[in-house]
Structure 1
Amino acid sequence: MKRYLTLTSILAAALLAVPAAADSRFIKEGSYLHTALVEVCTHTRNDQPAKLFNTLREYRISKQSAVDKVMCNKQQLLTFARNNNAQRVVAMLQPYERLPERKVTISDITAPAN
């Protein structure tokens, strides 16, 4: 159990430390993290949302973390999916895309217009 928790915490720390990329020179090929990222990118490219969801759940990667941090072929996950016409994956992950901050403007509606 302790070994499992250690492995999970290492994976979480790796996902938080730097944006992950399957072709990154920092991730050793064949490692746990490399395998997870290759599976995520493969399922995204092949437009397989059910398999992608299962892979994310298996490796305990949240959809928000995947959208924010996983990169495939030096592109963010949603951009990669859009470029590969993976419409079903885009539909699944689009709610987790962070939109630009919206600005709120407050104006006095009783003031005379100039």
Structure 2
Amino acid sequence: MKKYLVIATLILTPLAFNASAAMHPQLEKTLVDVCKAGASNKTIILHNTVKSYRINKQRIYPRLVCNGETFHQFALNQGAYKTAKQIGRYMKKGKVTIKDIAMTYDSDEILAVNY
């Protein structure tokens, strides 16, 4: 019986946390800096920013949302075509998914920042 109680507790624990938890200030600053570097249209600035924060491009670029837009679309709308071309290499292509709005932990978590 204890075994089932422990399993049930482990399964239901993530549901007890709030889905809209606040982002750590350092993480938010880092992502804002990446958004600003992407809007700069200077690939060396974007490269240096990503390198200085040790960011994994494959994980962050497809999930980062800047001012309500995907990172790639944000760079295009800012007229930063050079950086948008560099960002576009990492965007997911050809995958359509439907996600439930319920709070679930997923590796495809969206990281959204506004500045």
**TM-score of Structure 1 vs Structure 2, range by shorter chain:** 0.5 to 0.7
TM-score by length of 2: 0.58
1:30-78 superposed Cα distances (whole Å, 9 cap, x missing partner) = x211111111111111212211111111212122222211110011100
Q: Distance in 2 between matches of 1:39 and 1:51?
A: 10
Higher relative contact order (CA 8 A, sep 6+): 2
| Cα shift at 1:27 | 2.1
**CA RMSD, 1 decimal:** 1.9
- Structure 1 alignment gaps of length 5 or more: 1-23, 102-114
Aligned residue among 35, 38, 48 for 1:41: 35
Aligned residue among 20, 23, 26 for 2:22: 26
Largest Rg, 1 or 2? 1
1:72 has 2:66 as partner:
yes
Q: Distance in 1 between matches of 2:53 and 2:40?
A: 19
**Runs of 4+ with >3 A deviation:** none
TM-score by length of 1: 0.58
Q: Is the contact made by 1:81 and 1:87 (CA closer than 8 Å) also made in structure 2?
A: yes
Question: What is the number of residues matched between the two proteins?
Answer: 76
Identify, as 1 or 2, the structure richer in helix.
Answer: 1
